[in-house]
Amino acid sequence: RKLSSFHDYLMSYWEKEFFPKSNISDYRNFWNSSLRNGVFNYTPEVNNPVSISKEGLSRTISASDNVKSSGFEVVITESVALGTGMHANNPWLMGFLILSQDSVGKTLRLYQ
């Protein structure tokens, strides 16, 4: 079936991936409930544990020692305003983030 918009694609994806994991019998009710609540909770499938070889880990660590120190370095840290992003779908927090005076915002404003 041809999808005419991103909205159609999104609805189709949710119908295929998440609707079967719900206990709601009608997809339209499921979709509207998920939109109204802003979240859909389900228990994910149990995955097999990942194994890491000592040799591969050792190679990775030794390779990171060979990185050149010239140029830029990107340091990613969590936002003071939002923390880990656990409640990032809360519009009140989005407004707070936009209005806050965090260090990244200050830095970006200096270079505009």
Residue 85 has pLDDT above 80, yes or no: no
Higher pLDDT, 99 or 10: 10
Q: CA–CA distance from 5 to each of 29, 31, 42, 52, 55 (Å)? A: 21, 17, 27, 42, 48
pTM (2 d.p.): 0.42
* Mean per-residue pLDDT, 10-24: 92
Mean residue pLDDT of the chain comes to: 76
For the stretch 22-64, pLDDT in tens is 989 999 999 999 988 888 888 888 877 888 888 888 887 777 6
Q: How far apart are CA 40 and CA 31, in angstroms?
A: 9
Q: How far apart are CA 9 and CA 66, in angstroms?
A: 44
pLDDT of residue 105: 52
